[in-house]
Chain A
Amino acid sequence: MDGRSAELAQVDLRIPAAPEDLEKLAPGNVVYLDGMVYTAREGVYRKVLEEGAPLPDGLAAASNANFHCSPAAAREPDGTFNVGGVTATASFRFSKWMPRWFEVSGAKVVIGKGGMSGPDYREHFVPAGAVYLTTVGYGTGALLGRGIRRVHDVHWLDELGIAQAMWVFEVERFGPFLVDSDLAGNSLFEEQGRLVNENLDRVYAGLRPPALRRYGETDDREEELI
């Protein structure tokens, strides 16, 4: 690692995460996880929150870390699983389910791609005592795959398919992740986005808008699409 990368503080976090450990996390910290992590995205959210299916027994005790992802996995003829890698999916689409998911699951760590909006953090994450970790570059699937020790369990596999099933992974030095939102709802993406926005007028200088506008489009370059 060169000097520039070494400036980022590294933290090892045990899952299930204790509130006092989460308090120490700050936006931009590099995090590695040990313990149990489960996947849940639209398939599981619909199943549990809309259809009322009960959470798997013992899930809340085993893990409070919800990864928005699907594994590159295959079922072998002997019933075991070959998990090659995992990569996060963009979290903003799950916003509408998060408040109830926190209530039902007790999740305190949400891991995904691209973070969620500032209002999501302040209105849903902060009251739930939850932080958000983002995967790095969104493509470190092989490094994350290395951190998976074994498939502890998988739920609703036949019904939801490999991509949407709930996978429970036993993980060791699982990462890297970056803290996006801390317990106070401060967001790394928001802060970095503000800094990038400061430069945009200069980059666009002199470029006239096209002759035909698009319905519903905005010229507010600070507006986020999520």
Chain B
Amino acid sequence: MIGNEIIEQAAYEVMCKAAIDIPDDYLGGIKGMVQREEGTLSCFVLRSMVENYEAASTDRRPMCADTGLPRYYVKVGNEARIGGGFVGVERALRSATARATHDVPLRPNRVHPLWRTDHDNNVGINAPEIEWSFEPDADWVEITTVHKGGLFGTDYRMLFPGDGIDGIKRFYLDTLVAFGKRGLACQPAIVGVGLGGSKDVSMVLGKQAACLRTVGDRHPDPRIAALELELKALGNDIGMGAMGFVGSSMVIDCHIEVGHTHTGGMPMSVHTFCLSSRRATARVGADGTIEPRTDPRWFTPYMRRETVEWTSEAQSARKSP
């Protein structure tokens, strides 16, 4: 039985860690870009960012003061037994958010959209967002938090099958260029593309693709994986780098997630995660242990299943470790 207090502790720890320590996969990607970047200004920006990540980890202070909209992704093993139930988990996540906001400290960004009132704790109506997913044959609960700047770098469009891959490329470029100018999107970043689903799901998939997959990770469908690499190269060929300065550092990696969609349409969303790509995950075991890591492993074979049935055992054997 996994108790509420251990859920809250894990949620609090990931919230603190995400704010302060840049994930290794992303840091490695940025350091590679520093080597390749030939734009003087863009290169200066990247070097300053690397210094900033080091300062954050050394001083134990947030790497970026814009907390974005801190939120949680929770994956629950089908065999997990949670002491306080799902309501208990949600209560624990709200409490962890408020405590971490004070202790790190995180900027209390969350305000009422109309009255602009701030509880100074990043908790409010529909905040923090909590998204749930499930995993067969598992008895753990995994908690991931993401802090992503909230104002720029994302767009949605209803495309149609006839627009084809060219339409996808064009809308992708539109979004990167529009928000890349002056660096409003805080590039270079991991770019997520959501294709298909209903229009809200297209937004959700793109956001999750940007925030919950690591640099270097490829989609299991080889044709989608090839498109990911093509879009990554296209983004870095715009001629724009960090802060919209001349350069080549735009896309650290590109991840695409798909959902079966309306036969007449092809909804698409594009999301740029931040230069400060803040994410952290912890697995809470059935025995109450907390194992931290930086790879959310959100998109499992079960998440991407295509068929009516899911044969747990056979499919599990194919699961990546």
Using a CB–CB cutoff of 8 Å, the interface residues on chain A facing chain B are 1-2, 4-5, 7-8, 28, 30, 43, 69-74, 82-87, 89-90, 113-115, 134, 136-146, 161-164, 176, 178, 188-189, 192-193, 195-196, 198-200, 203-204, 206-212, 214, 221, 224-226
Q: Which of B144-187 contact A (CB under 8 A)?
A: 149, 151-152, 157-160, 162-163, 166-167, 169-171, 173, 177-179, 181-184, 186
Q: Name the A residues within 8 Å of B40 (CB-CB).
A: 4-5, 7-8
Minimal Cβ-Cβ distance residue in A for B235: A203
Tell which of B49-57, B77-85, B132-140 binds the partner. B49-57
Q: Which of B59, B66, B105 contacts A73 (CB 8 A)?
A: B105
Contact yes or no, B47 A161, CB < 8 A: no
Per-residue interface assignment for chain B, residues 99 to 132, with 1 indicating a CB less than 8 Å from any chain A CB and 0 otherwise: 0011111111101000011101000000000000
Interface check B276, CB cutoff 8 A: yes
Q: Which residue of A lies closest to B275 (CB)?
A: A139
Which of A5, A142, A163 interacts with B107 by CB under 8 Å? A163
Nearest opposing residue in chain A for B47, CB measure: A5
Main secondary structure of the interface of A (DSSP, over half): mixed
Residues of B within 8 A of A203 (CB): 173, 234, 237-239
Indicate if the CB atoms of B170 and A196 lie closer than 8 Å.
no
Chain A residue contacts of B157, Cβ below 8 A: 210, 214
B197 within 8 A of A: no
**Could you tell me the distance in whole angstroms from the C-beta of A70 to the nearest C-beta in chain B?**
6
Whether B182 pairs with A207 at a CB distance below 8 angstroms is no
Query: Are B62 and A85 touching (Cβ within 8 A)?
Result: yes
Instruction: From A30, A83, A114, A199, give the contact of B183 (CB < 8 A).
Output: A114
The yes or no answer to B201 lying at the interface (CB within 8 A) is no
**Cβ of B23 < 8 Å from any Cβ of A?**
no
Asked if B72 CB lies within 8 Å of chain A CBs, one says no
A193: B residues at CB distance < 8 A = 181-182, 244
A5 touches B59 (CB 8 A): no
User: What residue of chain A has the Cβ atom nearest to residue B274's Cβ?
Assistant: A139
- Determine which of A87, A89, A163, A200 lies in contact with B177 in the assembled complex, contact meaning CB atoms within 8 Å: A200
Known: A4-B43, A74-B103. 17 other contacts (CB 8 A): A70-B107, A74-B101, A83-B105, A84-B61, A84-B62, A85-B64, A87-B65, A87-B66, A138-B149, A139-B49, A139-B274, A140-B52, A145-B65, A161-B117, A163-B107, A211-B162, A224-B181
